[in-house]
Amino acid sequence: MFGLLRHLFKLQFLFVVAAVLGGIYHTEIRQFLRRQTDNYLDQAGQDAGIPLAFQAADEVGTLFTPAELAKFNGEEGRPLYLALLGSVFDVSRGIKHYGSGCSYNFFVGRDASVSFISGDFESYNPETADDVLTLKPDDLIGLAGWRDFYQKDYDYKGRLIGRFYNEKGALTTYHHKFLELLEQARDAKRQVEELRARYPGCNIEWSEERGTRVWCTTTSGDGKERSWIGYPRKLYSRGNKSFQCACVPDSELDEIDAGGKVARGDAMLKPYDNCEPQARECFYRV
């Protein structure tokens, strides 16, 4: 540890002199020292002499306050940073999208996570711009997908102190709640996908004369060929009063029709009113 401090003190002295002689800005000095510190820790971390807390520091990266992040707006040669779900990324290489006057410049220097879903690039309210817990489950999955995109295509720089991370860079209670809701959303999506694979969707058309017509074929639903046709039944998902038409195989008809409904996890299957159990097509009016 003392070796690290001596190393940094030497670097600081040299670059203070360089700053005086060459007019180098303090920001550049800090950035250089950070790089040198990271390199030193990477090398020293291979030994047993550096505490684990130091070795893990680069996983957190730099901690930014909202005011500090706002400075990284591309002006006066500064890089372009944005935050998403509290994670800060350098998007300077995408300047044609994030530069001044460009379509995504709205996101620069701030965490506007909600706007990735709402599409509102005009109004910014720092009190609500990153409040994502009121979004729909599918939207939370979408935000996680955006975050994965930035982690893959851009440089991760650190964490924004605020709603998702505290002053030490640790996850906040809010962040843990987001992760819990995200996992629930992913579980629900998996269940829906399993239901769709088990009960493909119906073909559907509407006419003023007959109302809505639903029917099953060997390719209805996802368009993929299957070995069975199926029979139309109403499929309700949890917490949803509306239904979708699903094609049910012959082997499950008796169970559904005997009791007038049957549960499948968080979903419910029911027969159509005024439609024969073995009918390949059903009609109804809303």
Domain range for 234 is 199-284
Selected residue with higher pLDDT from 247 and 34: 247
One domain, residues 134 and 119: yes
Question: Does 241 map to a domain?
Answer: yes
Selected residue with higher pLDDT from 9 and 115: 115
Strands 87-90 and 243-248: unpaired
Name the domain boundary from 193, 212, 245: 193
- pLDDT surpassing 50 at residue 146: yes
Question: Does 43 map to a domain?
Answer: no
- pLDDT surpassing 80 at residue 210: yes
Percent helix, strand and coil across the chain, each to the nearest 5? 45, 20, 35
- pLDDT surpassing 80 at residue 151: yes
One domain, residues 170 and 228: no
pTM: 0.67
Question: Does 130 map to a domain?
Answer: yes
Name the domain boundary from 167, 193, 219: 193
Flag the least confident range among 46-60, 174-188, 252-266.
46-60
Question: Does 135 map to a domain?
Answer: yes
One domain, residues 144 and 68: yes
Flag the least confident range among 148-157, 198-207, 257-266.
257-266
One domain, residues 273 and 204: yes
Tokens of 22: 């060459």
Name the domain boundary from 193, 225, 253: 193
Average pLDDT over residues 154-163: 98
Question: Does 256 map to a domain?
Answer: yes
pLDDT of residue 192: 82
Average pLDDT of the chain?
83
Question: Does 4 map to a domain?
Answer: no
Task: Name the residue with tokens 């950035």.
Answer: 31
Question: Does 260 map to a domain?
Answer: yes
One domain, residues 101 and 217: no
Q: What is the 3-state secondary structure (H, E, C) of 69-104?
A: HHCCECHHHCCEEEEECCEEEECHHHHHHHCCCCCC
Give the total number of structural domains in the chain: 2
- Residue 119 maps to which CATH number? 3.10.120.10
One domain, residues 157 and 242: no
Question: Does 97 map to a domain?
Answer: yes
Give pLDDT tens digits for 219-247: 998 898 999 999 999 998 776 778 999 99
Give pLDDT tens digits for 42-77: 443 344 333 333 333 347 999 999 999 999 999 999
Selected residue with higher pLDDT from 76 and 265: 76
pLDDT of residue 239: 67
| Pair 222, 201: CB distance under 8 Å | yes
